[in-house]
Amino acid sequence: GTTLKAAAERSGRYFGMAMGADRLSDSGFQTIARREFDMLTAVNEMKPDATEPNQGQFNFTNGDRLYNWAVQNGMRVRGHTLAWHAQQPRFWGSLSGSALRTAMINHINGVLAHYKGKMFQWDVVNEAFAENGSRRSSNLQATGNDWIEAAFRAARAADPSTGLCYNDYNIENWTYAKTQGVYNMIKDFKSRGVPIDCVGLQTHFTGGSSLPGNFQTTLSSFAALGVDVVLTEVDVTNASASQYQGLTQACMNVPRCLGITTWGVRDSDSWRSSESPLLFDRNSNPKAAYTSVLNAL
């Protein structure tokens, strides 16, 4: 039979998974990951608190272990993430204003210098919008509304070869205020020449979303602005086979939807493990949702 990656590659797409450094000693995880996936995202190891625990002291130990494992196994890597309100280095918490802005830019420069030319894409900014479609309040937002474009401009200058993505959750439903807020920012960036290449839709589904129609409208609407779209952290409550089928179909119907990543491999790997949201069960067996995804690719 075929595999997720082989099926995705038939249309030039990828099929990815998130992996933590703890799985580098888990042969069961690795057997499935090697067989089925061709893109890796680090679960926590490339976040700001992990890569710059103290100001100006970068630590790429676990990020590099995951990066090297991916490349050795024929996978590409998505970088996640450079600027976020969560999982920040402790020292960011004692900075504000221009000092925090400078620390963010220095962080982006330090991480991208290390991984220059290596990453398929980076989630430059993660989760910067509130549910009502306005900017989420955070210490980074408090440095000025232009913090997001400053991050993207710094990232482009530091590594012109990597795709620069804005990544968020609850932006899958086209009629939702948060989706419209992000859409308007991307539209504004494109109109003013702020460098941005892609939008990452986390796609943490809990159910009830109108698939694939509404979701496909979101993907095609973003794509029409001149950016690629990627599904970056997919998991679905109880791994509904029809929802997995619908989200995969939506991606397949949009030429600029480049690929799909699930946030883990087996249910036991998931941050939502009690909801059994992934494509493989705790015994490493593919679930009904696996077959529905494979058939939709």
| Residues annotated as catalytic (active site), given as ranges | 127, 233
End-to-end CA distance of the chain: 14
Name the residue nearer to ligand XIL (CB basis): 83 or 297.
83
- 8 Å CB contact between 118 and 66: no
DSSP state of 173: S
Residue 257's CB is within 10 A of a number of other CB atoms, namely: 23
- 8 Å CB contact between 21 and 268: no
**Residue from 51, 88, 126, 261 in contact with ligand XIL (CB under 6 A):** 126
CB of 81 to ligand XIL, least distance (A): 6
CB of 135 to ligand XIL, least distance (A): 17
CB of 76 to ligand XIL, least distance (A): 18
Q: What share of the chain is helix, strand, coil (3-state, %, to 5)?
A: 45, 20, 35
What tokens were used for 76? 């590409």
Using CB under 6 A, count the residues that bind ligand XIL: 6
CB of 28 to ligand XIL, least distance (A): 19
Name the residue nearer to ligand XIL (CB basis): 48 or 212.
48
- 8 Å CB contact between 160 and 152: no
DSSP state of 195: -
Name the residue nearer to ligand XIL (CB basis): 170 or 292.
170
Does position 271 interact with ligand XIL (CB under 6 A)? The reply is yes
**Residue from 162, 202, 218, 240 in contact with ligand XIL (CB under 6 A):** 202
Does position 143 interact with ligand XIL (CB under 6 A)? The reply is no
CB of 176 to ligand XIL, least distance (A): 17
**Residue from 36, 52, 228, 233 in contact with ligand XIL (CB under 6 A):** 233
Does position 201 interact with ligand XIL (CB under 6 A)? The reply is no
Q: What are phi and psi of 150, to 5 degrees?
A: -60, -40
Does position 268 interact with ligand XIL (CB under 6 A)? The reply is no
Name the residue nearer to ligand XIL (CB basis): 42 or 186.
42
Tell me, residue by residue from 20 to 59, as one string, x for binding to ligand XIL by CB under 6 A and - for no binding.
Answer: -----------------------xx---------------
For residues 219-230, one letter each, b for 16 or more C-beta atoms within 10 angstroms of the residue's C-beta and e for the rest, the string is bbbbbebebbbb
Measured distance CA(185)–CA(183) in Å, rounded: 5
Nearest to 297 by CA among 243, 250, 241, 236: 250
Name the residue nearer to ligand XIL (CB basis): 245 or 261.
261
CB-count burial class (<10 Å; 0-12, 13-18, 19+) for 98: exposed
Interface with ligand XIL by CB under 6 A: which residues? 43-44, 126, 202, 233, 271
